[in-house]
Amino acid sequence: MTRGSESRQLNIAAIQQTCSDNKETSLATSEALIREAVDGGAQLVVLQELHATLYFCQTEDVSVFELAEPIPGPTSNRLSVLAKELGVVLVGSIFERRMNGVYHNTAVVFEKDGSLAGLYRKMHIPDDPGFYEKFYFTPGDARFNSGESGFTPIDTSVGRLGVLVCWDQWYPEAARLMALAGADMLIYPTAIGWDVTDDADEQQRQLEAWVTVQRGHAVANNLPVIAPNRIGTEPDPSGQSDGIRFWGNSFICGPQGEFLARADDHNQTVLTATLDRERTEAIRRIWPHFRDRRIDAYGDILKRVRD
Which residues are part of the catalytic machinery?
49, 122, 166
User: Nearest CA to 138 among 107, 188, 101?
Assistant: 101
Say how far apart CA 43 and CA 158 lie, in whole Å: 8
**Residue 175 CB-density burial (10 A; 0-12 exposed, 13-18 middle, 19+ buried):** buried
Q: Coil, helix or strand for 254?
A: coil
The angle formed by the CA atoms of residues 120, 267 and 119, to the nearest 5 degrees, is 10
Say how far apart CA 239 and CA 49 lie, in whole Å: 23
The conformation of residue 304, written as its DSSP 8-state character, comes to: S
Let me know: does 193 contact 207? Beta carbons within 8 Å. no
Strands 44-46 and 89-99 turn out to be parallel
SS3 of 192-243: CEEECCCCHHHHHHHHHHHHHHHHHHHHHHCCCEEECECEEEECCCCCCCCC
| One-letter identity of residue 298 | Y
The conformation of residue 296, written as its DSSP 8-state character, comes to: G
Say how far apart CA 162 and CA 224 lie, in whole Å: 10
CA-based torsion, 156, 159, 160, 164: positive or negative: negative
Strands 116-121 and 102-110 turn out to be antiparallel
Say how far apart CA 225 and CA 257 lie, in whole Å: 8
The neighbouring-strand residues paired with 116 are: 110
